[in-house]
Amino acid sequence: MVLGCGLLAALSGPGAPSRLQLEGNPRPPTAAQINAAENQVRQQQSALGTAQGRLSAADAELTKLQTQAEVLTERYDETRVNEQRAASAYQVTEARLAQAQRQENASRRRLAGLAEEEFESGGGFDPMTAMLGDASGPQAYLNQVGLGQVLAQSGTDTLAANQANGVVAKVFRTQAHDLLAARQADLSAANDLKLAIGSAVARQTGYVQATRNSRDKLSRQFAAAQAHESALAAARQAALAAAAARAAAAAARAAAAAGGGGGQPGSSQVPSWAWGSGASSTQGDIAANWALTQLGKPYQWGGAGPGTYDCSGLTMDAWARAGVQLGHYTGYQWDAGPHVPLNQLQRGDLLFFATNTADPGTIHHVGIYIGNGMMVDAPYTGVDVRIDSMYQPGGLIGAVRPAG
């Protein structure tokens, strides 16, 4: 299908053979022109191969980078989870430290209250004696007996425990803070790596796309070169076949004249009818126009409508609309009217294709000419009825105008 599209472009693009050359001009493409076209095809094929190699290498590098990106993304996800856990642990230790500090502050307040009570009560001693015994007053008394002893006597040893909790909480806090800082640093580094590999993947993706676009452009140029070469070869082949057919017809007419009568009845090489005995141009238009209404219908072996067609089924049904009955077989349709030179084609004429253009017995395909070097045909399985160049299939053996 790509080659077919390329052929249509080649037939209308620079360097393509003119329509007159393709339709029976006495000066068809030369062998040198065909050789030049073949060289162009080889050059385009080489360039396409090089471009395909670059694209394959770029695709491989992109795959490698994408794999690295997946690995780094997973590492980033792991580091992010670890950072979240470290942050949670830090918050827990902060809460524990705050609780310990509150307990320590409460203990200190209780201690102050005990000291005040001890001072006011005299600690169980005669206040006057204590105060007279020491000129410095109650504070000296407390200093003498020892604040720790007072607290021990009053059962307030919780202060030491709270102070110990505060020390432990501070240690946990420091450790959690250090771990959180390390995790945050890891997360930042992982994020930087993720961004870097993401940028690398984006750049490589762009390079791959540019390389693919270049490859596709060369592929189109290669297809166009192939189509151009095929069109030249087909035109030359058709011109040579037409010349051979004309020579054979002339020889047959000469032989018939020498024998004093017409050709042998039923001869398959020289039709018994005259050149002008085919269907009218009006009938040809009817057949061609109706065939165009069948575009898009699927190909099917033996199909003769209305939903599916094969090549000879389509031509048979089209000409039936013009009042001409054809057999559902390319071989019978080849003998269904006068053979028309390619430079005298009119719409509706049947175009035949063979594996050997010197042997009508190898005909395998037929289409309906619609003008401007184009035809409607049902190509093959998997392809719908469509418009093709009359030279696209290759092996154009000749044309027939069905007899009305």
pLDDT digits 0-9 by tens, 157-196: 555 666 666 676 677 778 778 888 988 898 899 889 889 9
119 in the same domain as 67: yes
E-assigned strands of 180-285?
Answer: none
Q: Can you give the pLDDT at residue 363?
A: 94
Q: Which residues, including other chains, have CB under 8 Å from residue 172's CB and lie 6 or more apart?
A: 93, 96, 97
325 in the same domain as 370: yes
Number of compact structural domains in the chain = 2
313 in the same domain as 226: no
Name the residue among 245, 206, 193, 188 with its Cα closest to residue 72.
Answer: 193
309 in the same domain as 243: no
- What six digits make up the tokens of 354? 């063979």
Domain CATH number, residue 367: 3.90.1720.10
pLDDT at 22 over 50: no
In a domain, 265, yes or no: no
Answer yes or no: are the C-beta atoms of 346 and 337 closer than 8 Å.
no
Domain CATH number, residue 225: 1.10.287
Q: What is the pLDDT of residues 317-362, one digit of tens each?
A: 999 999 999 999 999 999 999 999 999 999 999 999 999 999 999 9
Q: Rounded CA gap, 283 and 350, in Å? A: 13
pLDDT at 282 over 90: yes
108 in the same domain as 66: yes
Question: Average pLDDT for residues 46-57, to the nearest whole number?
Answer: 92
301 in the same domain as 242: no
Q: Which amino acid is at 94?
A: E
For 400, the 3-state DSSP assignment is strand
Q: Can you give the pLDDT at residue 7?
A: 35
In a domain, 169, yes or no: yes
> H or E element: which one contains 399?
strand 396-400
240 in the same domain as 124: yes
Q: Can you give the pLDDT at residue 149?
A: 60
Predicted confidence band at 263 (pLDDT cuts at 50, 70, 90)?
very low
In a domain, 263, yes or no: no
In a domain, 1, yes or no: no
20 in the same domain as 76: yes
Question: Average pLDDT for residues 251-273, to the nearest whole number?
Answer: 53
Least confident of 93-102, 127-136, 196-205: 127-136
- Cα separation values, 239 from 174, 251, 358, 397, 399, Å: 96, 18, 12, 10, 13
The DSSP secondary structure of 333-397, one letter per residue, reads HHTSS-EE-GGG--TT-EEEEESSTT-GGGEEEEEEEEETTEEEE--STT--SEEEETTSSS-EE
For residue 176, the enclosing domain spans 9-248
Least confident of 12-21, 139-148, 187-196, 197-206: 12-21
Q: Which amino acid is at 348?
A: G
